[in-house]
Every structure is written in structure tokens, then in C-alpha cells.
Chains A and B, each alone.
Chain A
Amino acid sequence: MEFVRREAPYLESKADVATMMLQVLVALIPAACAHVWYFGPGLLFNLIVATVFCAGGEALMMRARGRAPETALSDYSVLVTAALLAFALPSLTPWWVTATGSLFAVVVAKHLYGGLGFNIFNPAMVGYVVILIAFPMELNLWVAPRMGDIDYVGLSILQTINYTLTGTLPDALTFDAVSRATPLDAMQSGLRGMRTYAEIRTNPMMGDFGGRGWEWIGNFFAIGGFWLLVKKIIRWQIPTGVFAGLLIPAGLMYIIAPGSNASPGFHLFSGATILCAFFIATDPVSAATSPRGRFVYGFGIGFLIFVIRKWGSYADGVAFAVILMNMATPAIDYLTRPHIVGHPRRGDRP
């Protein structure tokens, strides 16, 4: 009898990149719901615009590179890029801003570097940084979160779509009426204006830890993140590194000078800290790859976030921190190679 020939091992891998990416998207659902509840339906339109332009950009680039678009689209990594970019944007963002970021992320940061697996930088963060620098106005306008705020003005779905498409608000509303400085912004400018941390915190928008709305969205990111940890889609080293890198210096500074520094709890729950720790920094392609290296990489991101928030000119520093550490990845990987079984350990006599 004749048989087919294959190469060992003959058991099939059950893991799949596409499944992993879909699981990451599922893990974002709780936070997406919270986001819509606190900041209105804007996130959904950002998601739609980002997805259309990211996927379209990928399809065009694959064609330009002479490959079948579906081979790249079917791994769903582009959807994760779109989702992360959408989460980074204010809920009210004109579509051309989102589109610019999306195209830059996929066309330049991903495909000009060779596509999935070859991109040095996290595509979503590159896209975000480009529009943050190009359209600072649009990216600093966050609507006020729901709950407790006296001057909360919710926009209807139609009004949100209208703003997304045309960049204009209904006549009766000015942007000042709907938008608010983010807690991070308020904290940074407050501290630099020589107000004390306790004083700034008296503003009801500061919430319990990191600002109304923000802290709850953070909690839902954490739920998704823990689920990914349980599913082993991500490993503990990077999130732990990010938290340690941010909270240790923040904690030390807070102990030394509690008046002029935000508490570690504020750093943890405000801005994109938790999103970064579980979803952005854990992008495996642009992260360090050895287990110890991943902790170092995460720690570096956390530390840079702290540095930028404390002394930098941006209120949050996640995107810059991630991109800077992306650059350090090859060096980190080289310096943190694990001990190969049977090789002499450092300190052994040759």
C-alpha cells in the first residue's frame, strides 16, 4: 500500500494567528461598551472609519506588493490595528483625521516595512503619533464623560455622525460646551501651575483614581487583558513591566513630594495606561521576544510614560513610549537571551 509523505511532527497546531487576533478584538468589547456609555457613540464611528481605511490600505498595499490581498486580510491583524487606533482617538474625531492615521499606520508603518511580522514599529501607534502631530487640535478635544458632571451634554447618534463626517456641531452647541480637558491634561497643567495634587483632585471630574469614565474604561480593559492572559494570547511579562515601570517611579515621587506629583493610582487609571499594558505594548511583532526581554521592554515603556507625563509636553506619552521602546527591541533581545540548556552559565569557569 502507498502512503503520502509529510514532515514530522504529524500533529496539527491548534493555535492560529487569525484566532489570536479575533480573541484580542473580543477582549476589547467590554471596554468598548464602557467607552460608548461614558463618551457616546463616537468610538463606533471611529472604529468603522479606521477599519475601512486600514483594511483598504492593506488590500491596496498587498496588490502593490504583488500578493493576494486576502492572504494578509485573513489574519485579521489589520482589524486589531484599526481597533487600537480608534481607542486612542477622542470619541469625536473627523473622519479624515482617522483616515490619515489609518493609512499611515497600515501603508507606511506596516507594509512598507514588509507587512505583518516585519514591522519594526507598532502600526497603530505610528498612525496615532502622525495625526497627533499633524492635527493637534482635533486630537485634544474629548467630550466630557457621562455621570455626575453637571455640564454633561450628550450628542445624539446623528449629531455624532455629522461631526465625524463634516467636523461641525449643531448650531446651538459650541465645542467648548461638549468638550473637556482630559484628567491627565488637567493634572499636568494644574501641577505645572503650582497647584497641589490634593487641590486638583477636588474637581469632580477626577473621579476616584484617574478621572470619571476613564477609570472605569480602564477597569474594562483590565478585564479583557486578564482574559487574554488566561488564554495565553499575551504573557505576563509585558503588562507587569509596564505597570512596574510606571508605578515605581510614580510611587517614589509621590512619597517624596505628594503635593506636586500625581498618585500612582492616578497614573494607573488615567489615560491609556491599562490599554497600553494589555493591548498596545503586547503587540508581539514590535515587542521584545525573549521572556526577560519582554519585562525590560514593558518596564521601559512604563518608565517613559512616566517621564513624558511628568516632564514632557504631551499629557499622555503612551504612543511615544511604545515607539521609542520599539527601537530598543533588537538590543533588548540581544542582551536578554535566555540561558540555553547545557551551555556554560555566566560566571562558570570556561
Chain B
Amino acid sequence: MSAPTYDLGKLHGGLRLPGNKENSTAAAIQQVPVPAHLILPITQHVGDAAEPIVGIGERVLKGQLIAEPYGSLGAPVHASSSGKIVAIEPWPVSRRHGDTAPCIVIECDGEDRAVEVAEILPAFETLPADFLLSRILQGGIVGLGGAVFPTAQKLMQATTCKLEYLILNGVECEPYISCDDMLMREYAEKVVGGARILLHALEVGSCYIVVESDKPEAIRRLGEVLGDLNDDRFVLKQVPTIYPSGGEDQLVQLVTNLEVPTGGLPTDVGCVVQNVGTAAAINDWIIDNKPLLSRITTVTGDGVAQPMNVEARIGTTVADIVNFVGGYTDRAEQLIIGGPMTGKSVTTDRVPLVKATNCILVLSEAPAGGTERPCIRCGDCAAVCPVQLLPQQLFWYACADDEAKMRSYGLLDCIECGCCDLVCPSHIPLTADFRTARARMQEQADEKARAERARQRFEARNERLRQEQQIRDEELAKQKESARKAGPDAIAEILMRRQDPPDEDR
């Protein structure tokens, strides 16, 4: 049962990239000590910002809830060590849009005192699925593969669909990143434990654990754990090391040979995908009552002295973490949060580690790449596109800002994996251009919607005024009519009354 199997679907294109993972997997995962300050953004997930429930000056304990989920797509934030709240203010962060975000700043007391565990849960097998899902929400658990979608809401949505497979994503296809690899090596039983909870909560009968072929040690460890468990719901699958096999939709296609419909979710084809780190976090929370307070992250690149994987508290700044691994080298010039294909480059290392941070990549300035030239339509980009787009055509339409064509050529299906960029002989920043085009399209749609709303309001107002005017006119006509019927004496009386209104009317 634990032997890797290869009955895989086909994935178009992709790239075999140099992994650069050996440097960071040589040593075991190290624990970063409690830093002086923790910076906890209230939005560490996709969705609605959490609502802070602590005040400045308040003392908090490790594991204490400091911001409550708000809105339908929320996730709570917990204090990841004990100390005093010293500020709630904007702080530099790494995120898709904007450079700063509201953060709760804790001055740690270094004692790392934890809150009392309220209740010990009975074995999860005896708990109803609904209860498990709401419990997962309270644990602050979000997708740790990098997308940080709140896990509970993802699972709740999934329970409304007909499901066949739970897919655990241990592919980790992006170069340099090795935190999932190390997690699977050192905590394989937690990953499998989390998967068992998920299977129970989702009432799904089979689980694929999918690992890329460049992680033989992780596969061996998972195989051992699954062998001991001897549960025939689990199948361990090895996939070839091709970027971007670990994209959610790509993984579903690779493992089940089903395409996730455009604009849809893996649940549309009966799959739920969870990252192995998320599964381990669920295990920690449900079995050991530990909410998501820390994560494993890869600190690597030629800009750090000793590349390695560390487990750090959420909110520890990148500066503190890099300091812990021996500091920067002289060559450090770029700081990237995330991997080299999809990560975000930031200008300062004051940014905190958040739930999404799977990698801290410090690189020397890349050698001056070729200059950007016109597209020669060589089609190398189309050959590597995992979604089978024609980036060369999309680029053309993006330059022309032809929205209809961009849509029909699948701009919205672009997963921004960066493969096309990497093979472009003209050094065109295709991914960035597509991102911009998409943002512009969204902006235009928003603008249009706003204009439409304004127009409707304006028309409604005009209509209202017209109706009021009509009512007034009718009223006046009625008065005139009645006055005419009453004769000149009555009119004279009315006019007099107007000129000399009675006192009580004043």
C-alpha cells in the first residue's frame, strides 16, 4: 500500500527547474527563540480582516485569542507568545496589494506562558463533522501552502459537494522551498494524523498523499507511518519533479486526470486539496490543543549565511529569523517572501513571518538579464504553459488592451506561475504584464459597476423628483379647480388668508 504509484494524469508544459533545495535540508529544523517583539497582522489569510479584541497595554498569554474572525471569510489571530500589547498600527508586510497592513505588536516578556487549556477533546472519531469544522476555524488554521485560504471555510464549502478524494499536497514544486519536505521528514505522523481528521470531518473515503520525486526521504517516512497505520484509505503517490505540479488545480489534474473547470474549484470534480503543513496544523490543534502559533519556513538563498529550515512563531520579523540563522552574506541584495517563481519581493526585513510565509529567500542581485526585445512569437511560452494558454497572443492583446480577446484567450485562467517568463528569449516580463492587465480589467469592471450604480441612483432621483412635481401639479390643479367652482369671493378670501396668515400658522 505504501509503495509510490504512478497512474497519473497529464499536465501540459511545466519546467524542470534546478531545485536548490539541498542547502536548506542538510540540518534538522531549528527552533527560533522568542523574539523581543512579535508583529501580528490582523489579515494573514485571504478574506476579511480579523477584529482586534485586545487594547494597548493589555497583557496576553501564548495562545490567547487577540483578534476575532469577522465576516464570512475570516480567521482568528492568536498571540504566539506571552507579553504586553504595545501598539496596533500599520506595519510593513509582504502581501499581494499594498506594503503595509494593520498589525498588533506584542512586546514579549520572554516567559512564553501559555493560556490554560480549556477542555481536552474526546477522540476526534467520536466528534460530529460540524463540530470539528468550527473547531478548526477557532484554531486560526489557514492553508499553509501559501494561498492562506481559511481552512474551515474551505472545508465547509467542500462538504456541500459530492466528494471523492482528499488530496494532500506535499509536492512543493517551487525551487529553494523545502519546509514541507522537512515537515514530512520530521513529522510524517502529524501529517497523516491531520489527514485522518480531515477524512473524518469531510466523510471522504480515500486520500492521496502526493509528493514530488525529489523528496525520497519524505516519501520513505510517510511510507513507514502509513505502513504502521495500515489504513487502506491512504494512497501515497509520487509525481515527477516538474514545476508547477503543486498548484492546486494542476495537482488535481495530475492525480485524477480531471480538469478543474474554469472559474471553478477542485470540489467541482470531487476533490479537496490540503497542504501537508495544514494537515499537521490541524493535527496539532485537534489532538494537542495547540492553535496555529508557529510555522516551519525555509530560510535560504546565497544571501544568507546558513540556509536551513526553522520553526518560528508567527509574527517574528524576518530580521530576527535571518539573525538566528547567522545573518546575511555580503551578497544579499534581494529579499523575497515566498519562492523564486511566485514570491513577493520586499524592501525591508522588518516584515513579520505570517501564516503564508513558506520561504524567506535572500538572493544576490541577479546578473543583468537580457534586455527586453519585441516578441518574435517563437511560442516557447505556449509550450511550457500548464494551462495551455498562448501567452504570445495574450501579450499581444494585453498590449492592445483588447479586453474581449484577453478573456477569450484565457487571461483569467492564467495561474501566474511564471513559466512563460523563464523561457522567453525576448525577456518580456509576461507574468507581470498579465497581472497588470488583469488588475486593469478588474479596475475597469469596478469603475463600470460604480458608474452604473451612480447612473441608477441618478435616474431614481430624477424619477422621484418628477413624481413629486407631478403630485404637486395635480394638487395645485385640484385647488384651482375647487377655487374656480367656489367663485371670486372665495378666491379673495384665500388670497387674504395668504397675506395675513393666522398666528398659529407661524
Question: Which A residues are within 8 Å of any B CB, using their own CB?
Answer: 1-13, 15-20, 71, 75, 77, 115-118, 232, 235, 284-285, 287, 289-291, 294, 333, 337-344
Distance, CA A291 to CA B378, complexed state (A):
11
> What are 6 A-B pairs with beta-carbon distances under 8 A?
A3-B334, A3-B349, A8-B341, A17-B426, A289-B390, A341-B387
Which residues does chain B contribute within 8 Å of A287, judged by CB atoms? Answer: 377
B376 interfacial by beta-carbon distance below 8 Å: yes
Q: Which of B418-443 contact A (CB under 8 A)?
A: 418, 421-427, 429, 431-432
**Interface bits B375-388 vs A (CB < 8 Å: 1, else 0):** 11111101100111
- The reply to whether A339 and B388 form a contact with Cβ atoms under 8 Å apart is yes
Q: Which residue of B lies closest to A233 (CB)?
A: B378
Decide yes or no: A5 and B345 within 8 Å by CB, A16-B370, A118-B374, A285-B377 being known contacts.
yes
Partner of B421, one of A9, A285, A290: A9
The secondary-structure label for the interface of chain B is loop
Partner of B334, one of A10, A19, A344: A10
Q: Which of B211-256 contact A (CB under 8 A)?
A: 249, 253
Nearest CB on A from B250, distance (A): 8
- The reply to whether A13 and B333 form a contact with Cβ atoms under 8 Å apart is no
Decide yes or no: A1 and B319 within 8 Å by CB, A10-B336, A291-B382, A341-B259 being known contacts.
yes
- The reply to whether B376 and A17 form a contact with Cβ atoms under 8 Å apart is yes
Which residues does chain A contribute within 8 Å of B343, judged by CB atoms? Answer: 8, 10
- The reply to whether B374 and A340 form a contact with Cβ atoms under 8 Å apart is no
Distance, CA A284 to CA B347, complexed state (A):
39
- The reply to whether B388 and A338 form a contact with Cβ atoms under 8 Å apart is yes
Question: Which B residues are within 8 Å of any A CB, using their own CB?
Answer: 12, 17, 175, 249, 253, 259-264, 319, 328, 332-336, 338, 340-349, 361, 363, 365-367, 369-371, 373-380, 382-383, 386-390, 392-393, 409-410, 413, 416, 418, 421-427, 429, 431-432
Which residues does chain A contribute within 8 Å of B263, judged by CB atoms? Answer: 342
Nearest CB on A from B380, distance (A): 7
- The reply to whether A6 and B175 form a contact with Cβ atoms under 8 Å apart is no
Distance, CA A2 to CA B345, complexed state (A):
11
Q: Counting chain B CB atoms within 10 Å of each CB, which of A2, A6, A9, A343 scores highest?
A: A9
Identify the 7 closest CB pairs spanning chains A and B, nearest first.
A117-B374, A9-B418, A15-B425, A342-B262, A3-B335, A7-B432, A340-B410
Distance, CA A339 to CA B410, complexed state (A):
10
Decide yes or no: A4 and B365 within 8 Å by CB, A16-B370, A289-B379, A289-B393 being known contacts.
yes
Which residues does chain B contribute within 8 Å of A3, judged by CB atoms? Answer: 332-335, 345-349
Q: Counting chain B CB atoms within 10 Å of each CB, which of A16, A235, A284, A340 scores highest?
A: A340
Decide yes or no: A116 and B373 within 8 Å by CB, A2-B348, A13-B424 being known contacts.
yes
- The reply to whether A342 and B249 form a contact with Cβ atoms under 8 Å apart is yes
Decide yes or no: A289 and B392 within 8 Å by CB, A20-B425, A343-B413 being known contacts.
yes
Which residues does chain B contribute within 8 Å of A339, judged by CB atoms? Answer: 388
12 extra interchain contacts, Cβ-Cβ under 8 A, other than A17-B373, A291-B379, A342-B387? A3-B348, A8-B431, A8-B432, A10-B363, A11-B366, A12-B366, A16-B370, A285-B376, A340-B387, A341-B249, A341-B388, A341-B413
